[in-house]
Structure 1
């Protein structure tokens, strides 16, 4: 929530009715798959390291 750019000069609570209107950019599906693949690869390497300890 801290990375949103809601502008206001009051200290107030923001509710779902306000956050639901925000557009959240997500990468294209091809990029998402590339990211998941990279994360899986890193976790596989971490698992190998943990097993060798």
Structure 2
């Protein structure tokens, strides 16, 4: 379906590896959009919402 190994899918699932853009596109297509490239980007919400420190 997405032309990759089960081991690679396992790494994508546990977050130890991020798929290449072409693989992300295939995953999105196969899942009908339920899984998107954004699902592979890990970040802390606190970092996004934290106020910026201004340079002195």
Give the structure with higher Rg (CA).
Answer: 1
Provide TM-score, normalisation by structure 2. Answer: 0.29
